[in-house]
Structure 1
């Protein structure tokens, strides 16, 4: 991992199921995340994703890119355009700083109406000890 490295894009289909399941899993029972009629009554064209689901998707994106040893140390995001059902969010990332086994990654998630999320994720990737050589001592 080096400063300036780009992470591969991740496309996430924003489905009604993803929005509702994320709200339920994070115990966010606000009606705007599961009831389209209530969301419309409050001025939204449809239900929309909650911030905790977005947090989880950003964290998943970074740990998937850095592998199973990756440990999230800090996640600081800001929301923008809502994620509505039927859209796709594309997550992109760029390593902004590296200090030993820790990197700061700038992450952006955009959908069809604009930037849904932006922020930084600090992630550590502990170095793996070398594997024992064949015939060596364990």
Structure 2
């Protein structure tokens, strides 16, 4: 499934762009806890996207070979979300909880925006 890899690489580029904006916001504004929460959440969101892309690729290979299909790793992605929220609750003076949660949703937002952009581009 090379198209999964291409989609992942494109979305990873968008997330790195957002992370660079968050780092600039952390460095040059007084909202350090908010931007640090966004950085943590988005970084773990990128890790979850990588896990999802890798497992989807393995899933496609297993289906093509007729082998038994394993899960797509929902528990590991949920564990990273729980870990990031626990960190935000443990260090509220460093990490803004809502920013961490918003950062965790970043990859899903990027996936939706990328889907709509590709749908528009394929029509033209």
Instruction: Please indicate, yes or no, whether the TM-score normalized by the shorter chain is above 0.5.
Output: no
Q: Which has the higher helix share?
A: 2
From the CA coordinates, give the structure whose radius of gyration is larger: 1
TM norm structure 1: 0.28
Q: Which has the higher strand share?
A: 1
TM norm structure 2: 0.30
